[in-house]
């Protein structure tokens, strides 16, 4: 059966195709074979026996990728037994990889994917160094089957939220982060001394220091949540000192130093609809995503309310209303996250050889009037069913038939 | 209410709640004097001595007449007028239609390519009581010291310099109900406010609006009072009943004294005074309640004591009892899509508003959130289109009414605001495009005829004191 599904050939024909990697193509075909995209274009021969999806008048895009949230790690916000994202045993939890906390049977997964979000970054929520986030496809019977990239990045915080890990001061948190990095490097140089206990106590346990080595070698990106301009500048400074592959997250006042962020070549994860001022980000505003993109920063959009990850497209639409171009916004929910997290060889655009995560929309994906007609994840058509559609069916006429 | 932690940006944190006859003497008549009328709670049959109680000092801001022409005008009365015009003067809508004559002194606004709607109304806000920057110092929304605090009034917590207020104005909001939080079974009186820049909450108080009483079901009270009780849903119910039994006696004492004035006036009790006003029908019950079965318990509570629940709030399971809600005449103030942040919110579905509408009920899209209040038009649009895709033919006018006329009814102000009709208060929003599109933004917001916000004119972009010298 699985072999049959993998071998299945699907031709989505006649739609307006937005490959993201290139300009839109009218009346085009996307061909899916063996879970991959095997052809995209206006003149694609459809093999005999292919399942045809008529997309005339429809829009075809890559599946959306949400850069934020805890997909698979949270079921019911207020029920601790269903939340797996926070590991409280260490403030420096670099070795904490969330993957085995993921619940492939989570009700949130169908709710999300039938709205066109097919892939999500899923993050630990933690302290100075929260742990390792991973990328998952929103389909699959097992964790292994869902994983796209693990780790996608290590997540840290330099903001009001991590002051306490610095003894109550932002300066302390920055210093502690440097100590951890220095000790990780020290640990790498003197493993033997470490095992013989011939080394002074280090700023974190061996597993966590070990997990930071790929970050310090630039093999794994470090995502740092910083919002206040000065915190973003501190983060940029530290990233330069240690030659990190930095990704900023939040960056509420990032628009104020957009040129500096662009010059550093640092991508930014932004939630466009953030604009409520706090002392951690008094300058927060809707225009952040647009101003960053305009300055040349690679922007990835997020919907951090995991239960409504499906509102990523509303976030994107609002990013457009407040200054992004439509093309920038589409890229910021498809190819940009794929590039930023090192999976653009397989994800983020409709190109030959890429994993067939494809959505057929009735129109502009960012508009409320638009619905989802078809969702493919790894070439498999996803039934447009979720716990919520089933509740609707049960109660659409009253009284319900129990 | 849910709180978004600004710093833990990869996670959306969820903390607390998400958290009859029209105004007797309430509200100035639609075409009458602009002078504020008496508040409903000071009628002769109330249980308080006749003295001013924090009266509204609201005054209409002087403004020249305004004619917006060549716009698409959505009136919330079933009309969508292409190339239409609207004239308002002295805070009143004078004319709406295809051709409108303007007085010589009118400011003429070219509405070409723009949309015009009534001002947005939110039945469920915590602006001013959970003000930004959201430190403990501004946390004034839950008097979580007793399960029944009907004696507290939200207006005594409202901070007019909350920087979230101008953000909501920029979203087209003109009237809000500020509610106490949902920690308590009975949380206190709401404040009905004109959303305008002001030094005091009294200047914002909607003239003549009657108070609401916040009540809360389910998880929140039983969690907050776990150690002292109530700690169960049956404990919650016993708590409401005990309070209203006391209120019935209190009301009787006062009603008798008001009639015969024999002896000294009964001792005033602020807590029972609010509840007695509910029993008299002078205060509207605004009831935070998620689950269908619990809402029906609350309707029975209301029957037991002879009051009406004006609106359930949050009501993520309203669709399961849409027929009952329609029969009872109780509105529902709901989100388009929030769900899952706690167990009683697990069954939220996109079609909630549409199913309530279809059953003949009265849906309202509310915010309970300083972000959401800035885009109630978007949330209503989502709920409309999801309903349509599920086969429920919601009209654009119905969806517009979900954030204008219907919330006006929930607040008892539907004869004054909520639609664009001659004689109604000139609460008017000019949108850059179709307000049911994600790309539309409010360009101009008129509150009682006063241009309180203009996206293209910094002279009409109010800032609160909080923002001065701090926010670039």
List, for residues A281-307, the tens digit of each pLDDT value: 999 999 999 999 999 999 999 999 999
B390 to chain A: which residues are within 8 Å by CB? 392, 396
Specify the pLDDT at position B13.
43
Question: Does B359 contact chain A (CB < 8 Å)?
Answer: yes
- Decide if B4 and A69 are in contact by the 8 Å CB cutoff: no
Q: Which of A66, A67, A70, A76 to mutate to test the interface with B (most CBs of B within 10 A)?
A: A76
Q: How far is the C-alpha of A231 from the C-alpha of A245, rounded, in Å? A: 17
Specify the pLDDT at position B31.
31
Q: Are B332 and B311 in contact (CB under 8 A)?
A: yes
Residue A144 clears pLDDT 50, i.e. is over it: yes
Q: Which of B1, B2, B7 to mutate to test the interface with A (most CBs of A within 10 A)?
A: B7
Q: What is the mean pLDDT of chain B?
A: 92
A396 to chain B: which residues are within 8 Å by CB? 351, 355, 390
Residue A44 clears pLDDT 90, i.e. is over it: yes
Phi, psi (degrees; rounded to nearest 5) at B299: -65, -40
Handedness of CA B78, B81, B87, B91 (dihedral sign): positive
Residue labelled with tokens 């010589």:
B104
* Min distance A328 CA to chain B CA atoms (Å): 15
SS3 A61: strand
Specify the pLDDT at position B45.
67
- Decide if B8 and A125 are in contact by the 8 Å CB cutoff: yes
H or E element that contains A206: helix A206-216
Rounded mean pLDDT, A122-146: 97
Rounded mean pLDDT, B334-357: 98
Specify the pLDDT at position B26.
33
Nearest of B54, B213, B226, B228 to residue B149 by alpha carbon:
B213
Place B3 in a pLDDT band, splitting at 50, 70 and 90. Answer: very low
Q: Are A331 and A292 in contact (CB under 8 A)?
A: no
- Decide if B471 and A68 are in contact by the 8 Å CB cutoff: no
Rounded mean pLDDT, A108-113: 98
Residue labelled with tokens 């997020």:
A302
Of all residues in chain A, the one with the smallest CA distance to B14 is A77
- Decide if B337 and A311 are in contact by the 8 Å CB cutoff: yes
Specify the pLDDT at position A378.
98
Rounded mean pLDDT, A217-240: 98
Residue A280 clears pLDDT 70, i.e. is over it: yes
Specify the pLDDT at position B311.
98
Share of chain A above pLDDT 70, in %: 98
- Give me the architecture of the A64-168+214-346 domain, per CATH: Alpha-Beta Barrel (3.20)
The question of ipTM being above 0.90 is answered as yes
Specify the pLDDT at position B11.
56
* Min distance A3 CA to chain B CA atoms (Å): 34
CATH 3.20.20.140 placement within chain A:
64-168+214-346
Place B20 in a pLDDT band, splitting at 50, 70 and 90. Answer: very low
- Decide if A250 and B9 are in contact by the 8 Å CB cutoff: yes
Nearest of A38, A41, A64, A62 to residue A117 by alpha carbon:
A64
Q: Are B122 and B373 in contact (CB under 8 A)?
A: yes
CATH 2.30.40.10 placement within chain A:
1-63+348-402
Specify the pLDDT at position B22.
30
Nearest of A283, A277, A292 to residue A247 by alpha carbon:
A292
Question: Does B265 contact chain A (CB < 8 Å)?
Answer: no
Residue B205 clears pLDDT 80, i.e. is over it: yes
- Decide if A78 and B355 are in contact by the 8 Å CB cutoff: no
Specify the pLDDT at position B50.
76
- Decide if A398 and B9 are in contact by the 8 Å CB cutoff: no
Place A126 in a pLDDT band, splitting at 50, 70 and 90. Answer: confident
* Min distance A367 CA to chain B CA atoms (Å): 6
Specify the pLDDT at position B450.
98
- Give me the architecture of the B40-58+119-416 domain, per CATH: Alpha-Beta Barrel (3.20)
- Decide if B164 and A77 are in contact by the 8 Å CB cutoff: no
- Decide if B164 and A279 are in contact by the 8 Å CB cutoff: no
Residue A2 clears pLDDT 60, i.e. is over it: no
Residue B24 clears pLDDT 70, i.e. is over it: no
CATH fold for the domain made of A1-63+348-402: Urease, subunit C; domain 1 (2.30.40)
CA B347 to chain centre: 24
Tokens of B339: 């769900």
Least confident residue range of B16-20, B141-145, B178-182, B185-189: B16-20
B343 to chain A: which residues are within 8 Å by CB? 76, 78-79
Nearest to A123 among B11, B346, B436 (CB): B11
A160 to chain B: which residues are within 8 Å by CB? 6-7
Q: What is the mean pLDDT of chain A?
A: 96
Are β-strands A299-301 and A268-270 bridged in parallel, bridged antiparallel, or unpaired? parallel
Share of chain B above pLDDT 90, in %: 88
Q: Which of A289, A396, A397, A399 to mutate to test the interface with B (most CBs of B within 10 A)?
A: A396
Rounded mean pLDDT, B75-82: 97
Least confident residue range of A94-103, B15-24, B414-423: B15-24
Residue A6 clears pLDDT 70, i.e. is over it: no
Q: Are A120 and A71 in contact (CB under 8 A)?
A: yes
Our CA angle for B395, B430, B126, nearest 5°, is 80
Q: What is the 3-state secondary structure (H, E, C) of chain B?
A: CCCCCCCCCCCCCCCCCCCCCCCCCCCCCCCCCCCCCCCHHHCCCCCCCCCCCCCCCCCCCCCCCEEEEEEEEECCCCCEEEEEEEEEECCEEEEEECCCCCCCCCEEEECCCCEEEECEEEEEECCCCECCCCCHHHECCCCCCCCECCCCEHHHCCCCCCCHHHHHHHCCEEEEEECCCCCCCEEEECEEEECCCCCCHHHHECCCCCCEEEEECCHHHHHHCCCCCCCCHHHHHHHHHHHHHHHHHHHHHHHHHHHHCCCCCCCCCHHHHHHHHHHCCCCEEEEEECCHHHHHHHHHHHHHHCCCEEEEEECCCHHHHHHHHHHHCCEEEECCCCCCCCHHHCCCCCCHHHHHHHCCCCEEECCCCCCHHHHHHHHHHHHHHHHHHCCCCCCHHHHHHCCCHHHHHHCCCCCCCCCCCCCCECCEEEECCCCCCCCCCEEEEEECCEEEEECCCHHHCCCCHHHCCCCC
B 314-333 → A contacts, CB under 8 A: 319-323
Residue B41 clears pLDDT 60, i.e. is over it: no
Nearest to A125 among B10, B339, B350 (CB): B10
Instruction: Please report the number of interchain residue pairs, chain A to chain B, with beta-carbon separation below 8 angstroms.
Output: 181
Question: Does B231 contact chain A (CB < 8 Å)?
Answer: no
B10 to chain A: which residues are within 8 Å by CB? 68-70, 123, 125, 133, 155, 223, 225, 249, 269, 302, 304
- Decide if B378 and A367 are in contact by the 8 Å CB cutoff: no
Nearest to B389 among A227, A271, A371 (CB): A371
Tens digits of per-residue pLDDT, A49-91? 999 999 999 999 999 999 999 999 999 999 999 999 999 889 9
Q: Which of A77, A251, A364 to mutate to test the interface with B (most CBs of B within 10 A)?
A: A77
Nearest to B472 among A256, A279, A304 (CB): A256
Tens digits of per-residue pLDDT, B47-74? 776 788 999 999 999 999 999 999 999 9
* pTM metric for this prediction: 0.94
* Min distance B223 CA to chain A CA atoms (Å): 11
Nearest to A252 among B6, B8, B378 (CB): B6
Q: Which of A114, A123, A152, A305 to mutate to test the interface with B (most CBs of B within 10 A)?
A: A305
* Min distance A253 CA to chain B CA atoms (Å): 10
Specify the pLDDT at position B51.
84
Largest Cα span, chain A? 74
Nearest to B341 among A78, A159, A368 (CB): A78
Rounded mean pLDDT, B225-246: 98
Structural domain spans, chain B: 40-58+119-416
Place B28 in a pLDDT band, splitting at 50, 70 and 90. Answer: very low
Share of chain B above pLDDT 70, in %: 90
A277 to chain B: which residues are within 8 Å by CB? 132-133, 163, 466-467, 471
């Amino acid at each position: 059966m699985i072999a049959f599904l993998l071998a299945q050939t699907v031709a989505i024909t006649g739609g307006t195709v937005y490959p993201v990697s290139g300009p839109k193509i009218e009346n085009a075909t996307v061909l899916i074979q063996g879970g991959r995209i095997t052809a995209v274009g206006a003149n694609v021969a459809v093999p005999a026996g292919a399942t045809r999806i008529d997309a005339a008048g429809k829009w075809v895009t890559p599946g959306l990728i949400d850069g934020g949230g805890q997909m698979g790690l949270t079921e019911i916000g207020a029920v601790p037994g269903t939340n797996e994202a926070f590991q409280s045993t260490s403030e420096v939890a670099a070795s904490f990889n969330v993957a085995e906390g993921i619940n492939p049977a989570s009700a949130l997964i169908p709710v999300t994917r039938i709205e066109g979000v097919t892939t999500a970054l899923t993050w630990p929520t933690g302290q100075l160094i929260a742990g390792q986030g991973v990328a998952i496809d929103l389909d699959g019977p097992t964790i292994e089957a869902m994983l796209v990239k693990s780790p996608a990045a290590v997540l840290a915080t330099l903001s009001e939220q991590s002051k306490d890990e610095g003894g109550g001061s932002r300066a302390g948190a920055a210093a502690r982060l440097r100590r951890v990095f220095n000790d990780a490097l020290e640990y790498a140089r003197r493993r033997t001394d470490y095992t013989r206990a011939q080394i002074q106590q280090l700023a974190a346990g061996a597993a966590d220091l070990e997990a930071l080595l790929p970050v310090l070698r630039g093999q794994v990106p470090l995502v740092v949540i910083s919002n206040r301009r000065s915190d973003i500048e501190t983060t940029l400074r530290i990233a330069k000192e240690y030659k990190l592959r930095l990704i900023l997250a939040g960056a509420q006042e990032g628009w104020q130093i957009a040129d500096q962020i662009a010059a550093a070549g640092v991508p930014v994860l932004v939630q466009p609809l953030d604009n409520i001022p706090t002392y951690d980000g008094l300058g927060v505003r809707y225009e952040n995503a647009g101003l960053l993109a305009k300055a040349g920063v690679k922007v990835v959009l997020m919907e951090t309310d995991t239960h409504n990850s499906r509102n990523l497209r509303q976030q994107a639409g609002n990013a457009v209303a407040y200054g992004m171009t439509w093309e920038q916004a589409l890229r910021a929910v498809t190819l940009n996250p794929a590039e930023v997290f090192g999976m653009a060889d397989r994800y983020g655009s409709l190109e030959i050889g890429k994993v067939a995560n494809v959505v057929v929309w009735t129109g502009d994906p960012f508009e409320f009037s638009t619905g989802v007609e078809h969702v493919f994840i790894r070439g498999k058509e996803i039934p447009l069913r979720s716990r919520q559609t089933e509740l609707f069916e049960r109660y659409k006429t009253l009284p319900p038939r129990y | 209410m849910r709180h978004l932690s600004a710093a833990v940006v990869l996670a959306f944190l969820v903390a607390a709640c998400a958290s009859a006859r029209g105004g007797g003497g309430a509200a100035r008549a639609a075409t009458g004097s602009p002078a504020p009328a008496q508040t409903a709670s000071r009628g002769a049959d109330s249980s308080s001595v006749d003295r001013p109680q924090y009266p509204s000092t609201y005054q209409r801001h002087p403004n020249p007449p305004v004619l917006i022409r060549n716009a698409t005008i959505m009136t919330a009365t079933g009309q969508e007028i292409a190339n239409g015009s609207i004239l308002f003067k002295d805070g009143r809508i004078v004319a709406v239609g295809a051709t409108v004559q303007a007085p010589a002194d009118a400011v003429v606004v070219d509405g070409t390519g723009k949309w015009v709607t009534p001002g947005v109304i939110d039945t469920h806000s915590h602006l001013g009581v959970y003000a930004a920057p959201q430190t403990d110092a501004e946390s004034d929304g839950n008097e979580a010291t007793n399960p029944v605090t009907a004696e507290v009034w939200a207006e005594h917590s409202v901070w007019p310099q909350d920087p979230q207020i101008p953000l909501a104005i920029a979203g087209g909001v003109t009237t809000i109900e500020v509610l106490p939080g949902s920690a308590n079974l009975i949380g206190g009186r709401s404040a009905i406010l004109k959303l305008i820049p002001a030094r005091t909450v009294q200047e914002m108080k909607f003239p003549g609006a009657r108070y609401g009483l916040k009540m809360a079901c389910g998880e929140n009270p039983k969690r907050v009072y776990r150690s002292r009780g109530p700690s169960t849903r049956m404990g919650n119910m016993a708590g409401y009943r005990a309070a209203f039994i006391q209120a019935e006696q209190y009301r009787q004492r006062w009603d008798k004294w008001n009639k015969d004035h024999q002896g000294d006036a009964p001792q005033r009790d602020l807590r029972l005074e609010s509840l007695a006003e509910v029993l008299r029908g002078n205060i509207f019950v605004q009831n935070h309640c998620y689950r269908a079965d619990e809402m029906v318990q609350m309707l029975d509570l209301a029957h037991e004591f002879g009051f009406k629940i004006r609106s359930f709030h949050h009501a993520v399971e309203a669709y399961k009892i849409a027929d009952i809600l329609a029969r009872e005449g109780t509105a529902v103030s709901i989100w388009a899509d929030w769900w899952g942040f706690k167990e009683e919110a697990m069954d939220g579905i996109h079609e909630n508003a549409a199913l309530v509408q279809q059953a003949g009920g009265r849906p309202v899209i509310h915010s309970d959130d300083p972000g959401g209040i800035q885009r109630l038009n978007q949330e209503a649009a989502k709920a409309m289109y999801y309903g349509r895709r599920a086969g429920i033919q919601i009209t654009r006018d119905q969806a517009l009414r979900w954030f204008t006329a219907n919330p006006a009814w929930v607040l008892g102000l539907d004869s004054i605001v909520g639609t664009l009709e001659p004689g109604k208060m000139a609460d008017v929003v000019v949108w850059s495009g179709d307000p049911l599109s994600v790309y539309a933004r409010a360009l101009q917001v008129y509150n009682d005829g006063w241009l309180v916000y203009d996206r293209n004119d910094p002279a009409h972009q109010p800032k609160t004191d909080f923002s001065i010298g701090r926010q670039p």
